[in-house]
Amino acid sequence: MPATGRTPRDDRGQVAVEFLGMVPLILLTLVLLWQCVLVGYTFTLAGNAADEAARVCAVDGDYREAGKRHVGESWSAQVDCDASGDLAQARVRLKVPVLFPGAIDFPFTVTSEAGAVREKEAGG
């Protein structure tokens, strides 16, 4: 080996530089996964709120309050109920939030519907 006065190549710090390059990609992946969880949770909340609103609507109660109570104040919810005939049908629409409820919403809504048999008074 010729003596040129140079030392062999030093790779110290390379892992730190590569990690810093990957941090934005790791954070973006975590944000996207959280958003997917939030979309799924919105579907779950809408289904539960529709079930509760339909049950309350079947006994001529305040279905809007019942549906919104199971969603929470941070979520923008619309609760409707049609109690014509023997079946009370509730529809709940929730906007999907961006990263956390109460700030910005996506421009699409999650809709869930549920039904319950209307209660009739005995002897009537």
**38 assigned to some structural domain:** yes
Structure confidence at residue 123 (pLDDT): 54
32-53 per-position pLDDT tens digit: 999 999 889 989 999 999 998 9
**11 assigned to some structural domain:** no
> Domains in the chain: how many in total?
1
Residues 6 or more apart whose Cβ sits within 8 Å of residue 41 = none
Structural domain harbouring 35: 18-117
Q: Is the pLDDT of residue 104 over 90?
A: no
**98 assigned to some structural domain:** yes
Q: What angle do CA 48, 89, 95 make, to 5 degrees?
A: 50
**81 assigned to some structural domain:** yes
* pTM given for the model: 0.74
**12 assigned to some structural domain:** no
* Distance separating alpha carbons of residues 17 and 103, to the nearest angstrom: 35
Structure confidence at residue 3 (pLDDT): 58
Q: What percentage of residues in the chain have a pLDDT greater than 70?
A: 88
**5 assigned to some structural domain:** no
* Distance separating alpha carbons of residues 100 and 117, to the nearest angstrom: 35
59-95 per-position pLDDT tens digit: 888 888 888 887 877 778 888 998 888 888 999 999 8
**64 assigned to some structural domain:** yes
Q: Which two tokens stand for residue 81?
A: 């109920």
Model confidence band, residue 1 (pLDDT cutoffs 50, 70, 90): low
5-33 per-position pLDDT tens digit: 555 666 677 778 888 888 899 999 999 99
**3 assigned to some structural domain:** no
